[in-house]
């Protein structure tokens, strides 16, 4: 686990775009899918590099997490890196970064239809606070998405 650097942006963009599709297609409105263009992932990866932690093996980026205040904003692994405990390590590193910044707990939103991720967060000891309507930001506004808000174990 290490902080991301600008040279990671290409790998983060690729992992994010593929992982976002795996996690969201069929579970979110068409307007959100239309807004999540290849360029949009590249732009957000560049903008948020200072708030990103990567999991890497040597030169190879295996996945990443982003934080935004007390929120774990994004968590994605390369397809080949899933199922092996790396997600748990990244989630722990992200929650620790949130708490090191002075917060008591971290939180995140997962799409209701992403049942594999919901099971994963529960296995990590995060608590499902129930359904919410999440306003996913898009250029010029937001799109309503059915989600669940999860809260991390405390310090
Ligand atoms: C969610 C994620 C971060 C969890 O990390 P991980 O290290 O793979 O965690 P786990 O090993 O516990 O596996 C989690 C789930 O991934 C799936 N999975 C497991 N091995 C897999 C593999 N080899 N390939 C693809 N998916 C796999 C399973 O559905 C598993 O959950 P289940 O065993 O309850 O069915 C990671 O799987 C991922 O990046 N998924 C796609 C993107 C995503 O959903 N991100 C979260 C958005 S809120």
Report the greatest alpha carbon distance in the chain.
Answer: 39
How much is the mean pLDDT over the chain? 96
> For 95-111, what is each residue's pLDDT tens digit?
999 999 999 999 999 99
The fraction of the chain above a pLDDT of 90, given in percent, is: 99
Q: What pLDDT sits at residue 93?
A: 97
Q: Which helix (H) or strand (E) holds 128?
A: strand 127-138
* pLDDT above 80 (res 155): no
Q: What pLDDT sits at residue 53?
A: 98
Q: What's the CATH number for 2-151?
A: 3.40.630.30
Ligand 1 shell residues, CB under 6 Å: 19, 22-23, 75-77, 82-88, 110, 114, 116-117, 119-120
CA–CA distance, 106 with 90 (Å, rounded to integer):
13
Q: What is the mean pLDDT of residues 44-66?
A: 97
Q: What pLDDT sits at residue 17?
A: 98
Closest ligand 1 atom to 119 CA: 34
Q: What is the mean pLDDT of residues 110-134?
A: 96
pLDDT band at 132; cut points 50, 70, 90: very high
How many angstroms does the Cα of residue 69 sit away from the middle of ligand 1? 24
Spans of all domains in the chain = 2-151
How many angstroms does the Cα of residue 154 sit away from the middle of ligand 1? 23
Q: Which helix (H) or strand (E) holds 150?
A: strand 141-151
Q: What pLDDT sits at residue 36?
A: 96
Q: What pLDDT sits at residue 154?
A: 75
Q: What is the mean pLDDT of residues 148-153?
A: 96
3-state SS, 52-74, equals: EEEEEECCEEEEEEEEECCEEEE
């Amino acid at each position: 686990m290490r902080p991301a650097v600008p040279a990671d942006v290409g790998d983060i963009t690729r992992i994010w775009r593929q992982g976002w599709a795996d996690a969201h297609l069929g579970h979110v409105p068409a307007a959100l899918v239309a807004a999540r263009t290849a360029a949009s992932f590249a732009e957000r990866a560049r903008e948020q590099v200072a708030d990103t932690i990567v999991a890497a093996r040597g030169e190879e980026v295996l996945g990443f997490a982003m934080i935004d205040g007390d929120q774990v904003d994004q968590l994605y692994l390369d397809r080949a890196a899933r199922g092996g405990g790396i997600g748990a390590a990244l989630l722990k590193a992200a929650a620790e970064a949130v708490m090191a910044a002075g917060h008591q707990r971290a939180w995140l939103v997962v799409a209701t239809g992403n049942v594999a991720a919901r099971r994963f967060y529960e296995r990590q000891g995060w608590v499902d606070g129930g359904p919410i309507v999440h306003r996913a930001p898009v250029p010029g506004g937001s799109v309503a998405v059915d989600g669940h808000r999860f809260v991390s174990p405390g310090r």
